[in-house]
Amino acid sequence: MFVGTYTPKLDDKGRLFLPAKFREQLEDGLMVTRGQERCLTVYSHAEFALLTERLREASLTNKNTRDYVRMLTSGAFSEVPDKQGRITIAPLLRSYASLQKDVVVIGSMNRVEIWDPTSWETYLAEQEQRFADLSEEIFPGI
């Protein structure tokens, strides 16, 4: 499981040091692709295979399914971290997520997300009250 928030930097070649706590789970390889809200999503190869298997079961006659599959797979890049735990973020994806030098990397249970810091702070500010309100809806009685 991926949890926590980290603030590594991209180097001049677009490489990112994965947080040390994530490296073991991703050392055999990963997929980086577009995520929602203009972030990037990182899946282990196994988790990405589960996701794409579920998508194969969805009806491709449904336009929403086709659109989702296209966005997910056309921006997907397979990476294997180097010995220092770095992966290269493709220029297409850096542009999509507006990534420069500073980034925010968050654990999001079965995946990792990579955000532009300003976008992440804006998202957090917008979601804070909603998070509090959703608690009762998602976990009644807690």
Full set of structural domains in the chain with CATH: 5-138 (3.40.1550.20)
3-state secondary structure of 86: strand
Question: Would you say how long the chain is, in residues?
Answer: 142
Can you say how many angstroms the Cα of residue 14 is from the centroid of all Cα atoms in its chain?
16
Q: What is the mean pLDDT of residues 26-52?
A: 97
The answer to whether 35 and 98 are in contact (CB under 8 A) is: no
Model confidence at 83, in pLDDT bands (50, 70, 90)?
A: very high
Model confidence at 133, in pLDDT bands (50, 70, 90)?
A: confident
Burial track 118-137 (b if 16+ CB lie within 10 A, e otherwise): ebbeebeeeeeeeeeeeeee
Q: What is the mean pLDDT of residues 16-36?
A: 97
Q: What is the pLDDT of residues 8-19, one digit of tens each?
A: 999 999 999 999
The count of other CB atoms within 10 Å of the CB of residue 47 is 17
Q: What is the pLDDT of residues 91-117, one digit of tens each?
A: 999 999 999 999 999 999 999 999 999
pLDDT score, position 142:
63
Amino acid at site 78: S
Model confidence at 130, in pLDDT bands (50, 70, 90)?
A: confident
pLDDT score, position 1:
95
Beta bridge partners of 114: 40, 105
